[in-house]
Amino acid sequence: MLTFNFDRPASIGLISDTHGWLDPRFHELFSNVDVIIHAGDIGDEDVLRELETIAPVVAVRGNIDGGPLRFLPLEEMVEVNTRRFAILHIAGSHKSPNRAAREFLARRLPDVIVVGHSHIPVVAKVGAVLWVNPGAAGRQGFHHERFAALLHVGFPQARVTMDRIVLGPRSKLEEKPKP
């Protein structure tokens, strides 16, 4: 398990389902984070390289991640200020976690699970575990709006709070009209 413990409150950038495209505003949006969690469907290793210029990145493989990304783990654990974060791309829903998610939660006993795949932002409790899907940040998919999130882990109590980031419509950024 990767560990990032600070003698101060910490911030985590949550992102998922970029599908090969990273909104350039993440340089500003994640400028003060201590670590970035990408919950899969990265789409292109350039997305990870770009995120790594902002903060350390912990990522899992999504169902579209081939090529060099196929070597990413399917699940990962990270600790931030004593809070344990599980990361899994395909997990079902908070109302009906799939078998892989249930087994992962039982085996690793996290405080928070960060998931992707559905493109739907969710914050819910599954038993004692906080279930977070930041929503899709990319432009491909059926979602209408793009999202990400910031999690804040306090110190010394390690209380977890969250801010949702609304990135706007899924459609491509405004393009210049063709002459």
Whole-angstrom distance, CA of residue 60 vs CA of residue 71: 9
Query: How remote is the C-alpha of 103 from its chain's centroid?
Result: 20
Q: Using an 8 Å Cβ cutoff, are 50 and 24 in contact? A: no
Whole-angstrom distance, CA of residue 125 vs CA of residue 113: 10
Q: Are strands 35-38 and 10-15 parallel, antiparallel or unpaired?
A: parallel
Compute φ and ψ for 37, nearest 5 degrees.
Answer: -110, 125
Going residue by residue through the chain, which has 179 residues, state the pLDDT in tens, using 9 for 90 and above.
899 999 999 999 999 999 999 999 999 999 999 999 999 999 999 999 999 999 999 999 999 999 999 999 999 999 999 999 999 999 999 999 999 999 999 999 999 999 999 999 999 999 999 999 999 999 888 888 999 999 999 998 899 999 999 999 887 544 444 45
Nearest Cα residue to 88 out of 68, 67, 63: 63
> What structural domains does the chain harbor?
10-169 (3.60.21.10)
Model-wide pTM > 0.85: yes
Beta-bridge partners for 80: 4, 83
| DSSP at 176 | P
Nearest Cα residue to 61 out of 14, 6, 16, 120: 16
